[in-house]
Amino acid sequence: MEELEDSQMNLQTMLTMRHVSPFRSLAQELLGSLSETSDTLERWVKVQMMWCALESVFTGGDIAKQMPREAKKFAKVDKDWAKIMTKASECRNVVECCADELLRNSLPTMYGELEKCQKSLEGYLEQKQNAFPRFYFVSNAKLLIILSQGSDPLAMNEYYENVFDAIQYVEYDKKDKTIIYKIHGDGGDGHEIIPFISPVKAVGNIEDWLMSLLQNMRLTLKELARSCAAGV
């Protein structure tokens, strides 16, 4: 990209010289070609950045299963993207590569489809955040990881500190990983361990069972406070 910009600047400088007259039309043609190449590369990079951001979301995991229409749309773009990159790898000259009409026509379409997937994903995240407001404390990048692993309750142990204050991890039943019966506070050795008054079932959508965990945690702490007050 930098070499391309340097070449454009050199041609623009050359066109201001009085000795360029015999070559002016050629220099203008080359400058136009480089300008078109630069525009194509900018669109190409935009598509690549958005493709990279969505690729891990829509090629597997729970999110792709919950958004089948968007996953199908992304799969088509992904297929076209692979063709474009394969063809580009065979052409060593960037100007010749960017002059390809199929590439120029495909990039805006691909970007538009990826943008639709992105907007749908943003709506999906907002829906999950509304269902479990504590997700607002988590960055979108981390929330995507949490939601993509939602079918595996054990995977959530790495992120409880991001969602709840002073909770390091929860303890699952050894025979059934969907049953949570203890919470562990932070603080290293000697940290506080609180058994639930009734186990939490980690099944279904992750935002639903996390809400059940939150409600059960409140009931447990309320019951412990009541027991303590009665013993005073």
| pTM score | 0.77
Angle at CA of residue 93, ends 33 and 1, nearest 5°: 65
The Cα–Cα gap between 59 and 92 comes to 30
The Cα–Cα gap between 228 and 226 comes to 5
What is the pLDDT at residue 37?
83
Model pLDDT for residues 115-158, shown as the tens digit of each residue:
999 999 999 999 999 999 999 999 998 999 899 888 888 989 98
What is the pLDDT at residue 216?
93
The Cα–Cα gap between 49 and 32 comes to 26
The Cα–Cα gap between 106 and 90 comes to 18
What is the pLDDT at residue 15?
67
Q: What tokens were used for 162?
A: 């991001």
- Quick check: 61 and 149 in contact, CB under 8 A? yes
What is the pLDDT at residue 10?
67
The Cα–Cα gap between 216 and 113 comes to 42
Instruction: Quickly count: other Cβ atoms within 10 Å of residue 167's Cβ.
Output: 18
> In the chain, which stretches have pLDDT less than 50?
none
Residue given tokens 């945690």 in the structure block: 217
What is the pLDDT at residue 32?
67
What is the pLDDT at residue 148?
87
Per DSSP (E only), the strands in the chain are 167-172, 179-185, 193-201
What is the pLDDT at residue 201?
93
The Cα–Cα gap between 140 and 147 comes to 10
